[in-house]
Structure formats: structure tokens, C-alpha cells
Amino acid sequence: MGYSQGLSGLNAASAQLDTVGNNIANSSTTGFKSGTTEFADMYANTVATAVSTPAGLGVKVVGVAQNFGTGTFTNTGVPLDVAINGNGFFRMSVNGQIEYSRDGEFHTDANGYIIDAEGANLTGYPVGTSGVVSTTNPQPIQVPMGNMPPAATTIVNTSGLNLDSSQAVPTTTPFNPTDSTSYSYSNQITTYDSLGDSHSMQLYYVRNSPTSPIQYSVYAAEDGTLVPAQGGTVATVGLIGTMDFSNTGTLTGFTTAGPAATQTNTDEVQVTGIPSATGSINPISINFNLQGATAYGGTGNTANLQPDGNAAGNFVTAEIDQSGNVVCTYTNGKTQTVAQLVLASFNNNNGLQPVGDNKWIQTGTSGQPTLGTAGTGTFGQLQTESIENSNVDLTGSLVDLITAQRFYQANAQTIKTQNTVDQTLLNMS
């Protein structure tokens, strides 16, 4: 029986050498997961030997288990490179077939699709025109490399606007935008018309009463010209509304200077009839939402007004952020999220079948994939502008190589010994 045991050992040792050699060969392969050859003993299962202790028939290879532990990371500085720190796989589309990978070296092709080095498409959830991520059907991610169209300013919001409650009433009346003694504060914002042309809007705040309740009148000028009278009960050129504050400094209402019907809520007024001479939609209409404004004592802060709208912009670059969002940047300073990459996880990673090119496919043993996004559920975090290195321990693999070599030599020695015994028996005849 010595030959069969020794031969099975040689086969097993050869398989182990193959695995160790493959680990060493891929020690620099991005996202590679090291393997370990698994063995099992063999025994003859007969009635005669069932109650005794047989010598055994040798060893067999039962499989190669992969270590799916996370490798180290290398920062590449490439905006579309990304690594998974923890559980999960990138979901790739290869000619319509879904495969899974840990290799996050991505770039765009001629059509703007995000692909890996083998041309497989990275898939994710698309973002609709409303900016909402659709999580129903992952699809190949395409980066729109065209221009961002202009968007007219429709609303101006506030963040941290404070009009000092101790501010004195202006010494000069009536209000005059050219006389700084006729108003308490002023600030400037940039707005855009329907063609994306920018306009300079100046807002002026005039304290009306030195005592409670605190009240400020708000005036506006576009490109140096006061906005038209809004047609309210008191038709005053430039006046857009009046801010009233409680005795605790909170805004109780922003009353429009125009018709009451144009006021959408107690803190938002609509300013209409703003002229535009650029060929855009004329006149311009803008809502001013001052919800959250305060009149606390101390230094006034009027810098935090945030208008929407933008000029046209050319595509600059695309990057993947820590949430997996694919974000495009444009020359107008705006960003746009166009997709969110999807991750996949399996109940049994070792049930996945390697197919080469740093990819696996699902099998009945791996189970169906669970899809999600980075940082949710059991999915790992993303390392942006980074790649995951092979998790092969090169030093350990070299030791494994020596061990496998000894394993092979020892099994060869059993065959040699059996041959010597057989030769002795032949010489006795």
C-alpha cells in the first residue's frame, strides 16, 4: 500500500505548491485574496476494516479556501480609485454577466462609463433629476461629461442671519442706498438669470424702532438699481418686506411689501418685477426665505444668505466619496451626484467561484447576494482615492513554500522506501 499513500501525498503536495505559488505570484495583485489548500485523509470503508484501525489510503485535496480578510491600503490620489475596508464586493457587469470584485482601480471609458482595467462596468444606483437615489435596479454607472446647464435663482435662504438687537436706528431718513447712515446693515449676494448670467444683489436692513418689538425693513437693489415697488398698500421702491422679532430675538414674521397673495409663508416673501437686460426671462422673480433669522444682542451677521441657481459649467472631474456617491465637479464650482455605487455581500464567501481578472461569480454554495451601500448594515466603509493591496503574507508564503517542499520530499521518500522493500523481496526469490 505504500505506493498509493506516497502517490496521494505527492499529488497533495503538488496541489499545495500550486496554491502557495499562486499566492506568491499574486502578492502584488490589487484586491487578491490568498488561498490555503485543504486536505482530508482517506480510508477504505469495508466491513472487514470497519471495526479495526486501518492504516489509511493516503490524503486527498478537498479544496482551496480563500482568506477574504481585508488587505492593506495604498493611497493613489486617483479620484475614482476606491477600496472596501470591511465586508462587501464591487458589483461588476461583464458583457451583461454579473461578477464581483475587490479591485477598486476604476476609470472612465470613451462613453463616460466607469470601468476597471479589464473593461468591466462598475454598477450602482442611479440618481434621478430630483436628486433622489433609486435603489431598485443597479445599472452600469455613466458619468455625464457634458456641460451643466444654467439655473436661474428662484430662492434665497438664510443661515445664521442675526440683526443686532442693540443696533441704533439710522440717523438719516428716508432710506438711501448711497448713504450708509440711512441703513443699519447691508450685504451682497450673487444671483443668476435663466441664461446663467450673474447679477449683483444688495440687501439693506433698516432698524425701525429703538424699542421692543424689534423691527427691520429690508430693501433690495439688483445691479445697483433698487427693485421696483412691489405694489402693496405702501408702494415703496426697493422695499421688499419687514422683519418682526419677539422679545427673545426670534423671527415672528417676514411681512411682504407686496400683495399678501404673493407671500408663501410667514417667513418668505416673493419679489417680482426685477429687470434683466441680458435677454433672459424678464422680469426676474425671486423668493427670500429668512426663516431662522434672529435679533440677538452682539455683533450683527448678515453674510449667511444662500441663493440657489448657477451659471453654466464645464465638466472637470468625477470622484467617488466615502458613501459611494459618484460626484461630478464643474467649472462653475457646482457639484452633482449622478450615482451611488452598490456593494454585494454573501453568506458564504468561500462558495464564490473565482473566474480570473480579480473577480468571482456566485454559486449555489455562496448563496444569493445581498445588495446595499457602504457603511450600512454589514457593509464596510470605503477608502477613497485608495486601492486594497493583496492580503498575501509574502514572508509566510515563503515559509509555506519550504513546508510544501518538505511535504513533497517526505512523500517521495515513502515511495523510495517502498521500492527498496520490494527490491529486497525480489532479491530473496
Write down the pLDDT at residue 342: 96
Write down the pLDDT at residue 1: 52
Q: What is the pLDDT of residues 374-401, one digit of tens each?
A: 999 889 999 999 999 999 999 999 999 9
Strand 155-158 and strand 284-289: pairing? parallel
Output the CA torsion 339→374→386→74 (10° steps). Answer: -170
**317 is a domain residue:** no
**372/259 same-domain check:** no
- Of 287, 307, 327, the residue that ends a domain is 307
Q: What is the pLDDT of residues 254-301, one digit of tens each?
A: 999 988 888 888 999 999 999 988 889 999 999 999 999 999 988 888
**251/215 same-domain check:** yes
pLDDT at 429 over 70: no
Closest CA to 6 of 409, 421, 405: 409
Q: What is the pLDDT of residues 32-70, one digit of tens each?
A: 999 999 988 888 765 555 556 677 788 899 999 999 999
Q: For residue 253, count other CB atoms closer than 10 A to its CB.
A: 16
**331 is a domain residue:** no
**274/165 same-domain check:** yes
- CA–chain centroid gap for 400, Å, is 39
What span, in angstroms and rounded, lies between the C-alpha atoms of 342 and 123? 6
What span, in angstroms and rounded, lies between the C-alpha atoms of 209 and 323? 50
Residues 6+ apart with CB under 8 A from 327: 318, 319, 320, 321, 335, 336, 337, 338
**161/303 same-domain check:** yes
**383/402 same-domain check:** no
59 in helix, strand or coil?
Answer: strand
Q: What percent of the chain has pLDDT over 70?
A: 96
- Of 262, 287, 307, the residue that ends a domain is 307
Q: What percent of the chain has pLDDT over 90?
A: 71
**180/288 same-domain check:** yes
Neighbouring-strand partners of residue 122 = 92
**82 is a domain residue:** yes
* 418: containing domain: 2-69+390-428
Average pLDDT of the segment spanning 340-362: 95
**212/280 same-domain check:** yes
Number of structural domains (the chain) is 3
Cell 468625477 sits on residue: 318
**403/261 same-domain check:** no
What span, in angstroms and rounded, lies between the C-alpha atoms of 303 and 157? 11
**176/52 same-domain check:** no
**191/287 same-domain check:** yes
Q: What is the pLDDT of residues 87-143, one digit of tens each?
A: 999 999 999 999 999 999 999 999 999 999 999 999 999 998 777 888 888 999 999
Residue 177 belongs to a domain with what CATH number? 2.60.98.20
Strand 214-222 and strand 239-245: pairing? antiparallel
**pLDDT confidence band for 326 (50 / 70 / 90):** very high
The CA-atom distances, in angstroms, between 135 and each of 58, 94, 131, 344 are: 53, 21, 13, 13
**pLDDT confidence band for 223 (50 / 70 / 90):** very high
Q: Which three cell numbers stand for residue 250?
A: 426670534
